[in-house]
Structure 1
């Protein structure tokens, strides 16, 4: 299997792709072409392949980025606001969450650029020369998967949007909002039509391309969401179950024996559990010279870290990361979701609990642990330990290091998620990360299957699906203790299990919305947002730029209305 980095830029398409929404009308007319590639290039074999590859690049705007994490993990039952951050409206659901927020516009525009590139590939495929029909059919299938993927993100975040299924070349202000029914119909049609043309195996021969397994996995997510939407159908859960079983049974995917190894950086990212990932590169020149190929890298290593680097005996380094302190786990996440630390290895393998002295050492008086007035370290000594439970003052005083217990957690000091840490960065301040973002992995598929089975009343089958994930998560010798029985196979249990398995993986806000419990869970478990959140917040505000650049009706208002409540 060859790992091919799907990154070649196709700048002409990038410009054409968003003329209809990306600038003001005056700016549109003044747009300067930055590439000498003419519009016919896509009809050649190299151009067609480059355009297909370019369609993947919009994934890097959403997955593994602060934009994507803000719209999927902020303001949930599992994560609240840390000390820093520019987009706290997503945490607090307050007046900061409006249609002029930069990342809302950026995600919207980038996804539409990707959609229009997909449209161009689909429409122009018949005229392409120098490629076999089989290759053209595969490329069209890939971009149908991508177009469905992009519209599904937009639908979940914003509701019905402008459903464009043909290439937009010239500037236009003619837009309209599709219905939820139209959105789901188009998304499902694209995915079902993509299946015959995609490679029918676990990993593409050019790693990173969409496969039939990836499309079927996305269909699981789509049908689970549709099942709780205004256009739900009686067979949505059955279809989700069928597609999940296909992914699990037909391609040779396997859960890795160790939960932590799923997130091993480098060659470990291409493993038997990964169904679809977004690729990033270690090449710093790519990040700087052509951001369309690598975006700003996978920068989630920045988001979850606590402020270890100003503590006694510590300085910032590459291994422990550059801590942006954006996300702090809620007490519900730590005390309920990750309550079992005896049988379940996921608390230990999800959070960092130990920091070692990375300075010349010495005696320090800048302590947060109120059981001691100073600490003395030499290089390599433990400086900070997080036991995850409360210790008495005497227990802490007996240790030569600082003990960070739950009563001392604050907006800067808290358990740090390690799934996305990136010690391969070139220096301690470097922001773009190189690890792939795992969009779909098998444990998620098992839990989605369990969800469908619970909803279908197939309790015994749901137990089997959940136990596949829980046995893998067990400490050695604790597998039997991790297994659940039929009494536990409930939606409440599935919700918690998804929290344990998928914490931080850009799923939680979408899950809570799908289950119809976003407002209830945030009110119960997230003190940051409890006072502000309301049903309005099951959708994000439409970017104001989109509203302003659409046609006006006879009453002078935009034909593209804002979501209610914003």
Structure 2
């Protein structure tokens, strides 16, 4: 495949899309003719999954979806604080913004190759149809992330085989029409399950289409009258027509020893194989406070993680949880670090004793003085200038890494899980006025989240449901799971909520920040420059 000036083409085989299932074979020299063979065609389908690993579970993905929202602000370290702070450094030359664009257009060209070459491939027609369905699902997924991020974008639906220097920005409506058509085609041919775990399935496509329609319904120039109702129906199909089920407890969803459970509708696969894991799922790095310096009795270890302290929860986030009945605060945050450093133990402290407690409330000076361990209370967490100490999101912790400094993690990344399907259904049902059924779906999530014996207290009534509550519930359930920036843009609340809840981003955010800038090199590479491929307003 030739590299092109406009949209990066080619097929990537250096990462494995699904651990020990979509088995990769490293190919040292690949010609276009290879993809005309049955083996080459199958490899091209597998390669269509690879770019997912450039997004899910990466610092790039978290930075562009979690940072600069109402739920997370900046921690002490990192080079991308301007994304949270909405300063002029958030511009068209940022590498994350450029690389997302290039990687996903490369991915789209790979899916186009699969779709275009399928008619000439000798393969069982049913299986061939499934593989094309996978490619269309993935093409729709890549376009969905791109259109939410950049707005009007270039549409390419044919394999690129030579240099192109022309491009144009199609309307958001046209992009969504392509996405919906691809997903409808995928749903028609994909099976409920695949023999290879990690390949996309019919319920995964229904979940994604429900989310797409829910999003399109919020865009006046693109919306169709039945989008919300269709979104509700598709989400309910995933809930009712397959063998998915909510796990008994919220914490169990993130058990690293059981990642292929009944709540996973679809996930991106990582592995402990160091050769094929690439950059891995590095989410374990970014949400951790500094526990390994300046404290008695602690040092960095594998179990507690390597703290990059990139993202700090906002006060809004920590206030979301009623800890008397909702298990999701304890299920989401690591609050205690135990003594593991014999060289720096405090007087009276033994290995295994509490060394740091990040308390959820304010603690009196007298109580702090009575303990031989460090207490970081609410007042300190939100004190001026503190970006190092805060409750640490535990969803992505990875104690199975081979060494303390090892960055690539092996956790799968759940792109679609059943709890979100319930929340999609609830939001869509609320928007069509079916409040009673919307509340039922919300309450299903809240009952599962309840501390045992508090299930009834966790249920809400019809008069409590509104969009703010839905957004709050999505934050409680999906904290850190790479949805938040898109959620706030979809609901038209990004600017208001960042101003209200994010102390660092609030002063600078502007209405135009609901889109990211078009990468400058995309504009520069296009014949006619900015006249042919204009920049987004404000950048």
When the two structures are superposed, what TM-score results if normalisation uses the length of structure 1? 0.89
How far does residue 387 in structure 1 lie from its aligned partner after superposition?
2.1
User: Could you tell me how far apart the structure 2 residues matched to 1:470 and 1:156 are?
Assistant: 29
Which deviations, in whole Å up to 9, do the C-alpha atoms of 1:197-225 show, x marking residues without a partner? 11124xx2110000000110001110111
1:447 lines up with 2:423 in the alignment: yes
Q: Indicate conservation of the 8 Å contact 2:7/2:106, yes or no.
A: no
The match for 1:377 is 349
What secondary structure is seen at the aligned counterpart in 2 of 1:80? strand
The match for 1:299 is 282
Q: Indicate conservation of the 8 Å contact 1:17/1:116, yes or no.
A: no
1:234 lines up with 2:225 in the alignment: yes
User: Could you tell me how far apart the structure 1 residues matched to 2:131 and 2:357 are?
Assistant: 51
How far does residue 394 in structure 1 lie from its aligned partner after superposition?
1.1
Q: Indicate conservation of the 8 Å contact 1:18/1:113, yes or no.
A: no
Which deviations, in whole Å up to 9, do the C-alpha atoms of 1:462-519 show, x marking residues without a partner? 1110010000001111111111111112211111000000000000100000000100
Q: Indicate conservation of the 8 Å contact 2:74/2:504, yes or no.
A: yes
1:252 lines up with 2:243 in the alignment: yes
User: Could you tell me how far apart the structure 2 residues matched to 1:444 and 1:275 are?
Assistant: 10
The match for 1:4 is none
How far does residue 37 in structure 1 lie from its aligned partner after superposition?
2.0
How far does residue 342 in structure 1 lie from its aligned partner after superposition?
0.7
Q: Indicate conservation of the 8 Å contact 2:517/2:536, yes or no.
A: yes
Structure 2 matches for 1:170-209, cutoff 5 A? 170-201=162-193, 204-209=194-199
What secondary structure is seen at the aligned counterpart in 1 of 2:292? helix
User: Could you tell me how far apart the structure 1 residues matched to 2:4 and 2:103 are?
Assistant: 8
User: Could you tell me how far apart the structure 2 residues matched to 1:190 and 1:308 are?
Assistant: 47
The match for 2:527 is 551
Q: Considering only aligned residues, what root-mean-square deviation do their CA atoms show, in Å?
A: 1.4
How far does residue 90 in structure 1 lie from its aligned partner after superposition?
1.3
User: Could you tell me how far apart the structure 1 residues matched to 2:55 and 2:29 are?
Assistant: 29
Which deviations, in whole Å up to 9, do the C-alpha atoms of 1:284-330 show, x marking residues without a partner? 122xxxxxxx3410001001000001122111100110001100000
User: Could you tell me how far apart the structure 1 residues matched to 2:8 and 2:115 are?
Assistant: 22
Which deviations, in whole Å up to 9, do the C-alpha atoms of 1:351-375 show, x marking residues without a partner? 00111111115455xxxxxxxxxx5
The match for 2:506 is 530
User: Could you tell me how far apart the structure 1 residues matched to 2:335 and 2:35 are?
Assistant: 52
Go from structure 1 to structure 2 and tell me whether the alpha carbon gap of 1:483 and 1:548 turns closer, same or farther (over 3 Å shift): same
Structure 2 matches for 1:128-277, cutoff 5 A? 128-129=121-122, 131-201=123-193, 204-229=194-219, 230-266=221-257, 268-277=258-267
The match for 2:72 is 79
Give aligned pairs, total. 516
User: Could you tell me how far apart the structure 2 residues matched to 1:331 and 1:156 are?
Assistant: 27
Q: Indicate conservation of the 8 Å contact 1:20/1:170, yes or no.
A: no
1:119 lines up with 2:112 in the alignment: yes
What secondary structure is seen at the aligned counterpart in 2 of 1:195? helix
How far does residue 87 in structure 1 lie from its aligned partner after superposition?
1.2
Go from structure 1 to structure 2 and tell me whether the alpha carbon gap of 1:333 and 1:18 turns closer, same or farther (over 3 Å shift): farther
* Ranges in structure 2 where 5+ consecutive residues have no aligned partner: 10-26
What secondary structure is seen at the aligned counterpart in 1 of 2:275? helix
Go from structure 1 to structure 2 and tell me whether the alpha carbon gap of 1:110 and 1:45 turns closer, same or farther (over 3 Å shift): same
Q: Indicate conservation of the 8 Å contact 1:152/1:222, yes or no.
A: yes
Q: Indicate conservation of the 8 Å contact 1:220/1:448, yes or no.
A: yes
In structure 2, which of residues 351, 355, 358 is the aligned counterpart of residue 386 of structure 1?
358
User: Could you tell me how far apart the structure 2 residues matched to 1:195 and 1:168 are?
Assistant: 26
Go from structure 1 to structure 2 and tell me whether the alpha carbon gap of 1:376 and 1:105 turns closer, same or farther (over 3 Å shift): farther
User: Could you tell me how far apart the structure 1 residues matched to 2:345 and 2:147 are?
Assistant: 55
The match for 1:346 is 328
User: Could you tell me how far apart the structure 1 residues matched to 2:367 and 2:96 are?
Assistant: 46
Could you list the runs of 4 or more consecutive aligned residues of structure 1 that deviate by over 3 angstroms after TM superposition?
16-23, 361-364
Q: Indicate conservation of the 8 Å contact 2:6/2:526, yes or no.
A: no
User: Could you tell me how far apart the structure 1 residues matched to 2:507 and 2:45 are?
Assistant: 46
When the two structures are superposed, what TM-score results if normalisation uses the length of structure 2? 0.94
What secondary structure is seen at the aligned counterpart in 2 of 1:314? coil
Q: Indicate conservation of the 8 Å contact 1:17/1:112, yes or no.
A: no
How far does residue 400 in structure 1 lie from its aligned partner after superposition?
2.4
Which deviations, in whole Å up to 9, do the C-alpha atoms of 1:429-477 show, x marking residues without a partner? 0000010000000000101111011111111101110010000001111
Q: Indicate conservation of the 8 Å contact 2:4/2:164, yes or no.
A: no
User: Could you tell me how far apart the structure 2 residues matched to 1:18 and 1:445 are?
Assistant: 38
Go from structure 1 to structure 2 and tell me whether the alpha carbon gap of 1:356 and 1:128 turns closer, same or farther (over 3 Å shift): same
* Ranges in structure 1 where 5+ consecutive residues have no aligned partner: 1-12, 24-33, 287-293, 365-374
